[in-house]
Chain A
């Protein structure tokens, strides 16, 4: 008699517990696959930042020196007259509203003691790229210097698509 009553009850409790466990297993499996997918698509942030930072010392639209007579560009040579916020905004300008979710940079020339930053740089450095450069000063002399590129990867959650 008691077995007839309690057997269905036991089954019900068993399936309630089993339902929770099965749900957890499926969720865990989905999360595991998601993590694996993230591993496959992972791109090191240093590589991305290095690619973007190439422009700062290499092209005349950023800070590279170009000969005023023949227009020849000297990659790796920084024109100190161009090392300004206005030039940085022409070189790399992230979105006004959500640009802080992208890579932003603070550039510093060690010997010259000059700094410029991108429009959404808030001193939250993730890492630093160091480059040896030449600098053409105001009086036209060429000097050795070190360019520190402070990289702020993102603030907050990754941006939405679009």
Chain B
């Protein structure tokens, strides 16, 4: 199954959590603090596994999406919505400096 064809163009890019980010996991979600900007962000627990995985090692978007998909337990008919949600997270997390892309 090809779950993320849009990610092909970025296949050589990996995503990593920025070194200036502190994260704390709670039952209901994650709190993130950006040491550079001083901003605090809160994410729902839906993104727990992505942040945990990124804290360990950099990953491709495909890997992260697969992780997100399995965690969100959505069925195949909802895949487009889930992808949109994932893409939005990646875009906003890049913009806020929580994650960055590396080759």
**Are A and B bound to each other?**
no
Q: B residues engaging A (CB < 8 A)?
A: none
